[in-house]
Chains A and B, each alone.
Chain A
Amino acid sequence: MSADASPSAARRRPAAAEPPDTPTAPRVRQLVLKVHSRCNLACDYCYVYRHADQGWRGRPRVIAPGTVSRVADRLAAHVVRHRTDRVRVVLHGGEPLLAGVDVLDRTVRTLRAAMPAGTTLDVAMQTNGLLLDEAVLALCHTHGIDVGVSVDGGRTANDRHRRHADGRGSFTEVAAALRLLARPEHRARYAGLLCTVDLANDPVDVYRSLLEFDPPRLDLLLPHGNWSTPPPGRRPGDPATPYADWLIAVFDTWYRETPRRSGIRLFESLIALLLGGRSGTQALGGAEPDIMTIETDGTIEGTDTLKTTTASAMRTGLDVFRHSFDEALRHPSLAGRPSGLAALAPACRSCPVVGACGGGLYAHRFRDGAGFAHPSVYCPDLFRLVRHVRSVVTADLDALRRRVTAPPGPAEAAPRGTVHPPVAGAGRAGPAVPAGR
C-alpha cells in the first residue's frame, strides 16, 4: 500500500456515494477476519504462505484495535443498509490464537457492540488447535465462539503436511486439543474438523481417525490448485479420477452408517443439491460469493482461496478505512465477479451435472492469463462423484417412495426407521451402486 493510500491518511476521506439497496443486492454474510497474520505451523500446502500471494509478509502480525473498530463500523453500516438479521464473523489467520485471549476478547466485544439491535452476530474461529486450552475455551463460552479445527486424519496422515517449522509433526498437540474440545462441558462450541484430502492417505483410515475426535461435522477439502498450478496427482485434462475415488470411499462408508455419526458438508450439500436444495459449501452448486476477507491491516479481499491463483487476482486495493463493504463488493474478486451459470464455461453450462457441481470452487477454475471461465481442474473427479452420489441416493429414495406410496398391506408390518432397498445393492446396507450409472 502506498503512503498516499495508507489507512491513516485515508481515514479522513469521505466514503463514496452508494446506490440504494435492493432485495437482491449482493451482501456480506460471512466476514473472515484475520486477527493474526502469522502461524505457528509451517504446513507445506498452506495457501497463505506457500502459494502465489505473499502479501502476508508486509502486514501487521496482530490486528490493531483501531482496525477492529473500523471493521465493526463498516460491518454495522452494511447490515443496517441491507437489513440483515444475521451475519457471521470467522476469526482467522495465520493462526488466530496467536493473537492472544485479550485481543480476541476485545475484538469480539467491539464487533458485537457495533451491531444494531435485531442483528445477530455469530462468531466462529478456525484454528490449528495448538494453543487451544481452557482459557481460550472460557473465552469461547463467554462469547459463543464456535471452534473449527484443522486436522488431516491420524498421526501419519496429519503429520505428512501439518508440521512445525523444524519439521516436527503437530498431531500430538492437536489431538490433545480435540480431546479437550470434545469434552461435554466444551462440546457446545465444537463446530467441526477441517481435513485436506491427500491421495497418499487411505480415505477410510482418515475418516475413521477423524471420527475418533467425535466431530459434529467434517469438512473435506480438495487441495487447492488450478489449470496452471495443478493439485497433487491431478493432471489437467486427464480422465483419471483419483480424488473422486478417494471421496467415494469415504462417502460409501459414511453413508452406510446408521445412526449418522457426523455430518460431512461436501456430501450433505451434494445430496441436498441433487434434491433441489441448497449447497452449504462454496465447492459445489455455484454458491454466491458472499464471503469477504479482512487482513490485519484492514485490507479488504475476496474469498481467501483466490490466493492460490495469482497475487493480482486477490488484490482489491480497498481497505476498511477508505471503502465501505458495498463498494468492495463490486470488485471482481468479490460479488463483482460473474456468478451462477454466467460464470461457467460453455462446457459446464451444458453439463448434465452442473446443477449439483456448479463448476466447483471458483479458484479451481483458474488458468493463468485466461481467467476463470473454465471447468474446474477437478472436473472429471466432480463429475464422477456427483454421478455416484446420485445413483446411491436415487436408489434409496426409490425405496422410500415405494414405502410411502405402497397400498396398505403386509408391507405395513415392516418396522419403521429402516429403508428396505428393493434392488440388491441399491441401499445403504448393500454395496455402492457402480459409478457412471
Chain B
Amino acid sequence: MTEHGQPPTPVAAGAALVQLGDVPLADLLAGAGDGVLAHVLGALVADSEPGDVSAFESSF
C-alpha cells in the first residue's frame, strides 16, 4: 500500500490487532470469497474462533 502512496486504511476495532503488513484484515476479507481463508480471516476480524480452545481434542 505504501508504494502506491495511499493513506493508511481505517481499521475497525478488533481488526487492527491482526494485520498482514499494512493491509487490514477487513479489507482482505472483502475480496476473499467464501473459502477457508475467508473464514479464518473473518474469525480474526471478529476476534472469534479460532481462539476457542477445545477440550474435545483431549479425548479419543
Interface residues of A (CB under 8 A from B): 29-30, 32, 43, 45-47, 88, 90, 92, 124, 126, 148, 150, 191-192, 194, 196, 219, 221, 254-260, 263, 265, 267-269, 271-272, 275-283, 287, 290-291, 293, 303-305, 393, 396-397, 400-401, 403-405, 407, 416-419, 428
Pick the contact of B57 from A46, A219, A260, A405 — CB < 8 Å? A219
* Among candidates A196, A258, A272, A404, residue contacting B31 with C-beta atoms closer than 8 Å: A404
Question: Measured between C-beta atoms, what is the minimum distance from A130 to chain B in Å?
Answer: 14
A-B contact pairs, 10 of them (CB 8 A): A90-B59, A219-B54, A257-B36, A258-B33, A259-B35, A279-B53, A305-B58, A404-B27, A404-B28, A419-B33
Q: B25-60 vs A: 1/0 string, CB under 8 Å?
A: 101101111111111110110000111111111111
Smallest beta-carbon distance B56→chain A, Å: 4
Number of residue pairs A-B, CB distance < 8 angstroms: 160
* Interface residue from A126, A258, A267, A287 paired with B59 (Cβ < 8 Å): A126
B54 to chain A, nearest CB (A): 6
Bound complex: CA of A42 vs CA of B18, how far in Å?
44
Contact of A275 among B18, B32, B34 (CB under 8 A): B18
CA distance A259 to B35 in the complex (A): 5
| The residue from A148, A287, A393, A403 contacting B37, defined by CB atoms under 8 A apart | A393
B58 touches A32 (CB 8 A): yes
Interface size on B (CB < 8 Å)?
Answer: 38
Determine whether B20 belongs to the interface, using a CB cutoff of 8 Å to chain A. yes
Nearest opposing residue in chain B for A150, CB measure: B60
Known A-B contacts A258-B34, A275-B44, A404-B23; the reply to A263 vs B39 at CB < 8 A is: yes
- Cβ–Cβ contact A400 & B35, under 8 A: no
**Given the complex, which residues of A lie within 8 Å of B60, measured CB to CB?**
43, 45-47, 150, 194, 196, 221
A417 close to B34 (CB less than 8 A)? yes
Q: Does B1 contact A (CB under 8 A)?
A: yes
Q: Report the minimum CB–CB distance from B57 to chain A (whole Å).
A: 5
Known: A279-B50, A291-B53, A404-B27. 7 other contacts (CB 8 A): A32-B55, A43-B60, A267-B36, A393-B37, A400-B23, A401-B23, A418-B33
CB-CB under 8 A from B28, the residues of chain A are 397, 400-401, 404
A126 to B60, CA, bound (A): 8
| Nearest 3 A/B pairs, CB to CB | A280-B50, A278-B51, A258-B35
B3 → chain A closest CB, angstroms: 8
Cα-based distance from A277 to B52 in the complex (angstroms): 11
Q: Judging by beta carbons under 8 Å apart, are B21 and A401 in contact? A: yes
Give every chain A residue within 8 A of B58 (Cβ-Cβ): 32, 282, 291, 293, 303-305
Are B31 and A271 interface neighbours, CB within 8 A? no
Contact B33 A265 (CB under 8 A): no
Q: How far is the CB of B16 from chain A (nearest CB, A)?
A: 11
| Contact present for B55 and A268 (CB under 8 Å) | no
Given contacts A277-B18, A280-B52, A401-B21, contact A194 B33 (CB under 8 A): no
Shortest Cβ gap from B42 to chain A (Å): 10
- In the docked arrangement, what's the CA distance between A39 and B57, Å? 18
Q: Is the CB of B59 within 8 A of A277?
A: no
Chain A minimum-CB-distance residue to B58? A304
Q: How far is the CB of A165 from chain B (nearest CB, A)?
A: 16
Min Cβ gap B27→A in Å is: 5
Do the beta carbons of A90 and B23 come within 8 Å of each other?
A: no
Contact status B33-A272, CB under 8 Å: no
Chain A neighbourhood of B32, CB < 8 A? 400, 419
Task: Tell me whether A29 and B53 are in contact (CB under 8 A).
Answer: yes
Cross-chain contact A265 with B50 (CB below 8 angstroms)? yes
Neighbouring B residues of A90 by C-beta, 8 Å: 55-56, 59
Complex Cα distance A282/B56, Å?
10
Instruction: Check A277 against B51 for contact (C-beta < 8 Å).
Output: yes
Let me know if B36 and A221 touch, CB within 8 A.
no
* Chain A hits for B50, CB < 8 A: 265, 268-269, 272, 277-281
